[in-house]
Amino acid sequence: MFAGQNYKDKRLVVGIGSALVDILTREDDEFLHKTGAVKGGMKYVDKEFIELTMSRTSQKPTMVPGGSACNTVIGIGKLGGQARFIGKRGQGEMGEFFETDLRKNDVDPALFQSSSPTGRVLSIITPDAQRSMFTFLGASSETQPEEITKNCFKNTAIVHIEGYLLFNEDLILTALNAAKEAGARVSLDLASFTVVEESKELLEKIVREFVDILLANEDEALAFTGYSDEIKAVSSLSENTNIAALKVGERGSYIANAGKIIKVEPMGTGNVVDTTGAGDLWASGFLFGLVNGYSLEKCGQLGSACGYEVCQVVGANIPEKGWQRIKRLLEE
């Protein structure tokens, strides 16, 4: 059985997570070393640290709306889908930029506001395509449980939640209950193996009681299931949910549903420029396919196409030519 047949003509996908502006710059390893970054990792810092580091870059950084769930719903908007993002931004220039850019990408911004500065992530991308991040959460961490009600998810097919919300138990449980009250399915992206390791008990409860669609990469799946074998891992992921997807990078992906496993081949093997947003954009294609009634195999292929295209550019912003190539898949 394909779960996508049961959305009762609803097409809206609502993402909830951190409203962060992504600041992207390409630098060499020497620059990275001077910043004190953990290569390929992430450090929490204050706003002033990010501003100081930006002032030392060799070129003007690029800025785009970011955050895992935000990246996913922007991708859905670019595919022509119905998309909304729920989060909290600051009131200044960067917060206005975040909201305006969502609208430009055909995403409905359901944003709460704070007097704190808008959250931001400085990503330093080295020649080996690794991204090393400095994160200032700012206003994005201030969303309160009482702000999330079932009206946030009215007429919603899927509520897509980023795993980082597991660090705020009251907020994620409120969002999950509100989504179910509104009659929406719940999609959860595990976000990071460190998130899984630090929130294992809560995560198991949430998957068992609320989650319909569970998305993970290899490291996240290993942390959650204990299996490095791909078939065992995706089977284990699917035990307490309707659909589970395991993303395995250049080897493609696996989708488990109703006791069956589908292997989806990668869309391409071109040179990887930057992996920023690869998993988020995979989710864009996959969830867009689900709410539009595509087969699980076609959903996976669309996810692979989005994930491939975003790896050919710096940042999580696929250029228009990339979207045109992806949309040709929809016409086949």
For residue 90, report the phi and psi dihedrals to the nearest 5 degrees: -80, 175
- Determine the pLDDT at residue 129: 79
Q: How far is the C-alpha of 25 from the C-alpha of 132, rounded, in Å?
A: 10
CA 142 from chain centre, in angstroms, equals: 19
Structure confidence at residue 162 as a pLDDT band (50, 70, 90): very high
Instruction: Point out which residues pair with 256 in neighbouring strands.
Output: 244, 261
Three-state DSSP class for residue 92: coil
User: From the CB of residue 6, how many other CB atoms can be counted at a distance below 10 Å?
Assistant: 12
Pairing of strands 62-66, 20-26: antiparallel
Average pLDDT over residues 42-61: 94
Q: How far is CA 286 from CA 162, 184, 245, 252, in A?
A: 15, 17, 9, 13
Q: How far is the C-alpha of 34 from the C-alpha of 180, rounded, in Å?
A: 47
- Determine the pLDDT at residue 317: 84
Give per-residue pLDDT as tens, 64-97: 888 999 999 999 999 999 999 999 999 889 999 9
- Determine the pLDDT at residue 273: 78
Domain 3-15+68-114+143-331 CATH superfamily:
Ribokinase (3.40.1190.20)
Edge-to-edge strand ranges of the sheet holding 243-247: 108-114, 82-90, 12-16, 156-162, 185-189, 213-217, 243-247, 253-257, 260-264
Residue with tokens 């991308």: 125
- Determine the pLDDT at residue 4: 44
Q: Do 229 and 214 contact (CB within 8 A), yes or no?
A: no
User: From the CB of residue 43, how many other CB atoms can be counted at a distance below 10 Å?
Assistant: 14
Q: Do 50 and 148 contact (CB within 8 A), yes or no?
A: no
Q: How far is the C-alpha of 239 from the C-alpha of 226, rounded, in Å?
A: 14
- Determine the pLDDT at residue 5: 47
Q: Is 33 exposed, middle or buried (0-12, 13-18, 19+ CB in 10 A)?
A: exposed
- For the chain, what percent of residues have pLDDT higher than 90? 79
Q: Do 151 and 51 contact (CB within 8 A), yes or no?
A: no
Pairing of strands 185-189, 243-247: unpaired
Q: Do 265 and 252 contact (CB within 8 A), yes or no?
A: yes
Give per-residue pLDDT as tens, 283-302: 999 999 999 999 999 999 99
- Determine the pLDDT at residue 312: 85
Residue 118 per-residue DSSP state? P
More confident residue, 270 or 189: 189
For residue 279, report the phi and psi dihedrals to the nearest 5 degrees: -70, -35
Residues 197/137/107/78 CA torsion (nearest 10 deg): -60
Three-state DSSP class for residue 53: helix
User: From the CB of residue 48, how many other CB atoms can be counted at a distance below 10 Å?
Assistant: 9
Q: How far is the C-alpha of 309 from the C-alpha of 307, rounded, in Å?
A: 6
pLDDT of 1 higher than 50: no
End-to-end Cα separation, the chain, in angstroms: 23
pLDDT of 137 higher than 80: yes
Give per-residue pLDDT as tens, 206-248: 999 999 999 999 999 999 999 999 999 999 999 999 999 999 9
Q: How far is the C-alpha of 31 from the C-alpha of 28, rounded, in Å?
A: 6
| Average pLDDT score, the chain | 92
